[in-house]
Structure formats: structure tokens, C-alpha cells
Amino acid sequence: MPSVVGREVGTKGFGLMGFTWRPKVTPKEQAFQVMKTALAHGANFWNGGELYGTPQLNSLHYLHDYFKAHPEDKDKVVISIKGGLNANFQVDGTEENVRRSVDECLRVLDGEKFLDIFECARVDPRTPIETTIAVLAKYVKEGKIGGIGLSEVKAETIRRAHKVHPIAAVEVELSLWATDILTNGVAATCAELGIPIVAYSPLGRGFLTGQFKSLGDLPVGDIRRHFPRFSPENFPKNIELLHELEKLAEKKGAPLTQVALGWVKAQSGRNGLPTIIPIPGTTTEARLVENMHDVALSEEDLKEIDDILSKAVIIGERYGGGAAKLMDG
């Protein structure tokens, strides 16, 4: 079993973003049932954010209410919370704003659940990472949070942060169509320093579910329409990777989602890689159960996927517009 902040966690975690991030908020009764089911399937590493929603309703409010209703679960779950944006939704790693963000998270949780990991959602290019981590290190020393995480960082930033205080986890995108960390030094650095990786968007923002066969399948106004890989000129080219992967899934007799998640999970410890924990998110119990079902991928399967990936050409950056400017590096 993987370990994060000294706690054993499942080989798959659970992302809470969808409950409060989308225009239509998931009713709490439905969300709580999904959360309960996730725990029942061994997914006890939960990832949320102060920024996932509004100051009045975000992941922290759902966590507070869930653990108030289910106090028997609070010691079974490890939570990692992203914050660090200011009131204008801008990245702000200054001591003042980091304290504001952590204190707000603690205020909303109100003692119903310990804040196991806090991570700034992005690196503030105007504030040295050493400054930001030093502030969070004081919270760890005071026993107010359990550990410090990093999100969307380059290898150099990980090293600089880790020198100030041991990093508990690094959250980065990893999926069959976002494999950057395997070649840009991030995974190698985490392996060297013994830092587990939390893999967000392991299903490629829904691309690897197979439900989008054309750009027209994306709802009007969907945020993914602003991402370069989903653009009208790039989507038809990127869909070719999906078709190749679907052939393999068909041979395995499993949904593509399970093959895609199985591949991310199989990278954990493979070829010298660090522990990797995928955190698929969903708002429905049926999808949660599907995501948690493991499909065994043989070494032959993994080599076949490696071959598919080596020939695939993914067109477009992962993020576009203002979001792209917030990437570390």
C-alpha cells in the first residue's frame, strides 16, 4: 500500500472537484454517497480545493459536513487541499495570503477533519518558493496541518521546496495523453527524493472515457473548449490516439476508462518511477464503481501501450490562455 504523510492510502484516490466546481453543484446527499462508496472501495486519499467553488461553497464545506455526519470516517481518510489563490482568484504565494488561505481552510473544516496536506494550487512567480514553503512549515510545526504538497511544479522547484521542508506529495497531471512528467525530470526527481506523485486528470479531462467522439459532443460553454487539445483544429488529430487505445481496451474486454486508469496505476514503481496515485473524480456512484475496478495490465499490454504512445503525436498544450501562464516553467 502507498504511504502519504505516514498514512497508508489506497492505490487510487478520489478527486472532489466536480462536486462544487461545475455550474450545477452536486446535491450533498448524492456527493456524500459517492464519497462513502469511494472509501468502501479503498480510495481513502481525497483531493479537494478551497478554489473548487465559491468562498461560500467549495470542497471544504462538503468535507466538513461529510465528516460531521460520518465522524467514524475521519481517521480513515487523508485529505489534500489546494489553496493559495487570493480574493481575485490570482496566484499569491506571499506569507500574508498563504496564511489567509490555510486559516480559511481550517476555519471551514472547524475541527471536523484534520488538514492532512495543504498545497498551493500554483507557484507564484513573484514570490520565491522558499518563502511560501517556510510559511507552511510553521503550520506543520504547530500541528495545524500534517504536510506540504506542491502542484504543477517543475523539477527544480521541487528540489528548492524540499530543501526548506520535506514535501509530502506532488500533484501533477498524468494520463495516457499527458505524459510530460515521465520525461521532464519531475517523476525522476520525486523518485530520487521519495515523494509520491498524485496524478490528477488521469482520464484526460474526460477525453479517455471515449464519450467524446467529436468536438460537438462537448457541451456548449464547456471549459474544455478553451483547452488547445480540444480546439477545432486539434481535436480531430488527437482523437486518433483514442481510437488506438480503444482497440486495446476491446481486446481486454474492459472499458477504456479502466485501461487508462490501470496504465497510470501501473506506472507506480515501474522503471524506477516513484509511487503514483491517480485521483479520478466523478459525481455519480456508478462511475465511481467503474473507476475503482482494477483491470490487470500485463507487461505485454504495457509494452503495447508504450508502442502506441511512442507513435502518437498529441497536438496542443495542456492549458491555454491565462491558465497556461500560471504553469511553473
The residues annotated as belonging to the active site are 52
CA atoms of 315 and 203, how far apart (whole Å): 17
Which helix (H) or strand (E) is 197 found in, with range?
strand 197-200
CA atoms of 178 and 61, how far apart (whole Å): 31
Contact 158, 170 (CB under 8 A): yes
CA atoms of 183 and 171, how far apart (whole Å): 16
3-state secondary structure at position 277: strand
Cα distances from 191 to residues 9, 65, 112, 123, 181, in angstroms, run: 18, 36, 33, 21, 12
Closest CA to 114 of 13, 276, 5: 5
**Sign, CA torsion 63/64/68/71:** positive
CA atoms of 148 and 151, how far apart (whole Å): 10
3-state secondary structure at position 235: helix
Distance, C-alpha 194 to centroid of its chain: 19
